[in-house]
Structure formats: C-alpha cells, structure tokens
Amino acid sequence: MDLLERIFKLFDVERKDYLVQEDWIEFLKERLPEDKQLDFVEQIESVAYVLCGDGVISQETFQLILQNKVVTKKLFRLVDTDDDGYVTADDIMEFIAAVSSGRPRVGIDKPSVDRLEQLFRQTVGDQKEITREQFQKIVVSKNPFFTERVFQIFDEDSSGTISHHEFIAAVHRFGRQTPEDKIKFLFKVYDLDGDGLIQHRELQHVMRACMEENGMTFSDDQLLELTGAMFEDADVEQRGAITYEALRDQLSKHGGLLENLSISIDRWLVPPPPDPEPTSFLQKLNKMKPYQLSWPYFKNNQVFLAYLGLFFLINLGLFAARCVEYRNSNGFVIFARACGQCLNFNCSWVLVLMLRNCITALRVRGLGSFLPLDHHIYLHKLTGVLIIIYSIVHTVMHLCNFSLVVVKDPVLNAHNFTVWEWIGTSRPGLFGLVGGAANPTGLALLVILLVLAVFSRPAVRRGGSFEVFYWTHLLYVPFWVLVIFHAPNFWKWFILPGSIYIIERIMRLAWMRSERGKTYISSGILLPSRVTHLVIRRPPLFDFHAGDYVFVNIPAIATYEWHPFTISSAPEQEDYLWLHVRGVGEWTNRLYEYFEREHERLHANDSCAHQSVST
C-alpha cells in the first residue's frame, strides 16, 4: 500500500471507499485556517472540481489531485516550514497528523500561532523536544504549580520532554475551546492524584491561580469564603470532594467566574500580543501608573484601603494636635513631641495587630468583611516601619534640642550639665515617668529597635534563620517596659492592649503545657510539584469547617516555628485531617526533604530485610 493510499484511508474514516468533496474540503479548511494553508486547500478544491465536478472523490481521483504539479508544489512549500528547500520525515508526519486530527484547529488566529512558533524556536533552537525548563519559558503563567501540571499533562508518554508537534497540537486543542472544554482541562490539571475528584485545597488552587492571572485581588479570607461556599454548594453528596459534573454545574451558575476561568486558559497557553508602544504623553503616563492606583484594585480592596486611610488620618491628627500644643516652643521640640505622640499610638497599636486569638475570634464571627483581619501581619510590619521612622526623627530632634538649645539655656541648665549628661545619664532629673529616665531609656530603645529591625528582614526570616528572628523578636518585652519609663503618658495607651496580650499569653502557655491540640503525623506522602501530603491524627474535640486553617509546629523541622495551612480534608472525616504543603520557602522545603529522607530510609530497610530473607 503506497503513501497516497494510506493518506486516503486516513480521511475515509467511514470506510466508504470515497470522499464527499464538500465535506472533505470543509474538513481541511477547519484544520488548515492560515492564509498559506488555505491557499493550498483552495488549490485542491479547484483541481477536485475540474476532475469530479460536484461529485464524490474516489481513491484514484484522490491520487490524481495530490499528483497535480501545482498542488504538489504548494504542498511542498506548506510542509517546508523553515523554507530551506527540503523537508524531513518528521515534517511530513507532523503535517499529516495535523490535517487528519479529529479536532478542528479553529479559533487560534495566525498572529498567535506565529508568536508561538517564534517563541518555540527562540527557546529550543534546532531541537525537536521541549524540556521542562524550556516549557516554563514558553507557557505564560504566573503560577509555577500550574505550569508543572500542564507539562505533565502534555507529556503523555512521561518521557520528560514534549515534541514540537505535541506542543502546537496541545495549544490548538486547549487554547480556544468552549468553556466546558476548558473546565475539563482545568479539572484535569488540578486533580493531582487523578482520582476523578477535586479536594477543597485543589479547588482553592484553581480559584487563586485564576484570580491572579486575571489581575483580580482578593484577601485570603475572601478567597477562603468563596472557595468554601462553592465547595459546599458543589459537594451535594457530602463526600469531601467534588466531581467534574458538580464543578461544571456550579460554575455554570456564576457566569463571570466561568468567563474568568476561560480567559485564564487562553492567557496561559497562547502568548498575548505585544502591547503597542505609547505615543502620547498621557499614554506613557498611564502606562507608568501602578496597578494599586487602578479602579479594580480600589474596588477589590475597599476594607484594606479604608483601614489605611483611617490609620494615616489618626497619625496625621495626633501629629498636628501635638504641633499646636507646643506651637510656642522651638522647632526641635515641636517635631520631637509630635513624633513622640505618634509613637505612643503606634507602639500600642503594633501589639493589637498581633493579638492572634482576638483576631481569630473576630474572623469566626464574620467581621472579616468589615475589618482587614487577613492583612494583620502586613499591617503589623507597616506599623513597625512607621515606629522606626518616627523614632529616628524623634531622636534627631531631641539631640539637636539638647545640644543646641538646652545646654545654653541658663534656666534649664543652671547646673551646667554637659550634652552627654543630659542625653546619657539621669543626673538632670528631668523628663520621663521617673525623673531623668527619659534620655537613657531612649538610647536603650534605639539599640533594641535597631536589633528588631535588622533581624526582622525577610532575608533572615526566610533564609534559614527563623529562630534568630524568633529570639531577637522577644526583645519586644523589654522594649515596652522601657517605653513605659521613657514616655510618662505611654501607659495610658498601652494598658488595654497590654492587658489583653498578657491574658492571651497566659492562655497560650496553659494550652502548651496541656495536651490540647497535641497530635502526631501518621504519614507524609510526596506528591508532584514538591507537595507534601500530611496525614495527621485528629486531636480530640477538634472541630473545623471547610476552608479553616491551623497553625502547625513540627519540632523535628524547627522547634519554635509555627506556620498556618488550610485543612484540605472534609470535616466529616473523624480520625484524621489532611494538610497539603507545597515547598515554596525554607521551612516547607525542609519538610519535603525530611520526608524524602524518611522514604529513602524505609526503602533501604525494606531492601535489607528482603535480602536477609533471601539469604
């Protein structure tokens, strides 16, 4: 059987020994939509009409059509994609596979295909296979987890590479399908274990990735609420997981969300067209505008932005009120006192933002819709930065005042104290909760603040030195004690949050000494994309709802580190609870590597036992 006969049989799927001319030409047009390809199809159509009229195409006529010189010439140019004057066997097979594909290649425009081809050749050069690292450069996605899963799906033979033909065919297959086809693709991507079910944490990954890709910003609490609501509505059988049909039915009720899911697939698999260069000054200025100044950002972060507005307004009001109160003093005193009043507020408020039990209680009662509870760590850091700024200005202004004004004042400095005696000792007996305590405690506070600032940097916390951050951060205790002696009115600001904090600490210490919440890890399963599936014995009287999270401490990984993770198992699962931890930081990677070593040790023991039995 020659090649033309084999090609004929590929198109003659119904085994009628003939092709209906109109259907076959339409079939080719669907799979070859580009200008150069359509030119080839139209030439075939012309030759077929001359030979057959409006009738059917037999095998003999089919061979005559493809043997036509003009058709053969256009076919050769079409298969010769790099225009080097010859074609390889792989080029021919890729073309045949494309035109005989069961799915039409419609919807992807020629510019998108051209960009894909150009990006492919720039990435892999003359190679025929795409590696995992190269694939990450080609697929446009902000989510590395998604890129890894797509690669695993495209790599059907698990060879670790994807051929050029497989890649282009997959993009045509998934890039511009119906919303239902795209939901099928999403379902397959996020069904990590391939069991035909999506767990709660998998659905949360879907929601987060799609929101990120579409430029939508939601807080963790909003995302958990949205995921939890969808999960509860879709999981009608209360099995702790949802099927494809349940997910599809649920998404069909939310048109906007379904549209965003579809758009995200298009962005992931088809490179976007390059942005046109701005021409006018206003266009250039608008392009430079950060996303945080856009209307969508304001709309999606109303509570957070309202808090920031009120927070800075309070600071501004305190600063202005102090300036008015000391308007008859010199400029150094005015700025020092104004910053000092702002420090009274911020040094108390920075503690409020870390009252973990109170924040959890407010979140459980639904106040996360009105308060930025899920941003409390970021706001704690922001307040800390303001404390540093205010402290620097406050210190510089006092130094200038004592060295340039006070030491020369015959009334204040009647005993002729030196600048150092004023700043570094309590001999003058003035200022502070206890006379003379303000300036020496101020110097000590500066040292403590410097240590806290240096060891709170991300490079320390995430660079394998979390315990250094933990122990140095305990300096907040002497910091607040010194502030009480430094500023005579600070205790009035601190007494309420300080009392609540002490109660929380006593409760936490009591829980740590008891068996409350203590449990053990039953197993650690290693999943793709450096995900560790933890199966944990459920503590007694431990209740939770879908979307809740827990703080976890694993002494074998780090004695003093606590990290929050969303519970991925169903509340109805009585004996165990599941956590899925992806290795994205120092602690989570150490967790994954710990169970890697445990697995290797278990395999080694099994091998030794097997050898002993064999002997």
Q: Encode pLDDT of 217-242 as tens digits.
A: 565 666 666 677 667 777 766 667 77
Most confident segment among 68-72, 127-131, 251-255, 595-599: 595-599
Q: How far apart are the C-alpha atoms of 342 and 337, rounded to whole Å?
A: 9
317-328 residue pLDDT tens: 999 999 999 999
418 vs 404: CA distance, rounded Å: 11
Residue 494 has pLDDT above 90, yes or no: yes
pLDDT at residue 328, rounded to an integer: 92
In the predicted structure, residue 33 carries a pLDDT above the cut 60:
no
Cα 579 to Cα 68, 229, 288, 482, 525: the distances in Å are: 65, 20, 41, 42, 10
Tokens of 262: 């579809």
Beta-bridged to residue 397, according to DSSP, are none
Maximum average pLDDT range among 53-57, 78-82, 329-333, 529-533: 329-333
* CA proximity to 568, closest of 194, 192, 241: 241
Amino acid residing at 356: R
pLDDT surpassing 90 at residue 532: no
What are the tokens at 590? 């150490």
Distance CA 451, CA 263 (A): 47
Compare 98 and 135 and report the one with higher pLDDT.
Answer: 135
User: Residues of the chain with pLDDT > 90: what percent?
Assistant: 20
- Which of 33-47, 247-261, 454-468 shows the highest mean pLDDT? 454-468
Place of tokens 């010194």: 482
Look-up of token digits 């077929």: 48
pLDDT of the residue at 552: 85
Give CA 137 to chain center in angstroms: 18
Length of the chain: 615
What is the per-residue pLDDT across 164-179, written as a single tens digit (0 to 9) for each?
666 666 665 555 456 6
Distance CA 103, CA 234 (A): 31
C-beta separation of 218 from 300 below 8 A? yes
Q: Beta strand pairing status for 576-582 and 531-537?
A: antiparallel
Residue 375, helix vs strand vs coil: helix
Q: What are the tens digits of pLDDT across the range 396-451?
A: 999 999 999 999 888 888 888 999 999 988 888 888 888 889 999 999 999 999 99
| Residue 343 in this model has a pLDDT that exceeds 90 | yes
| Better pLDDT: 144 or 457 | 457
State pLDDT tens for residues 193-209. 666 777 777 777 666 66
What SS3 state is found at 613?
helix
**Residues 216, 173, 254, 146, CA torsion sign:** negative
pLDDT of residue 95: 66
466: tokens are 């979390």
Contacts of residues 414-422 at CB distance under 8 Å and 24 or more positions apart, as own/partner, are none
Is residue 423 a contact partner of residue 443, using CB atoms and an 8 Å limit? yes
Share of the chain above pLDDT 70, in %: 60
Question: Is residue 466 pLDDT above 90, yes or no?
Answer: no
What does the pLDDT average to over 311-339?
95
Residue with more model confidence, 532 or 342: 342
- Residue 105: strand, helix, or coil: coil
Q: Tell me the pLDDT band of 312, cut-offs 50, 70 and 90.
A: very high
Residue 56 has pLDDT above 80, yes or no: no
Please name which of 208, 248, 240, 244 lies closest in space to residue 227, comparing C-alpha atoms. Answer: 208
**Residue 275: pLDDT over 50:** yes
Number of CB atoms found within 10 A of residue 598's CB = 14
Kindly report which listed range (280-289, 466-475, 489-498) carries the lowest average pLDDT score: 280-289
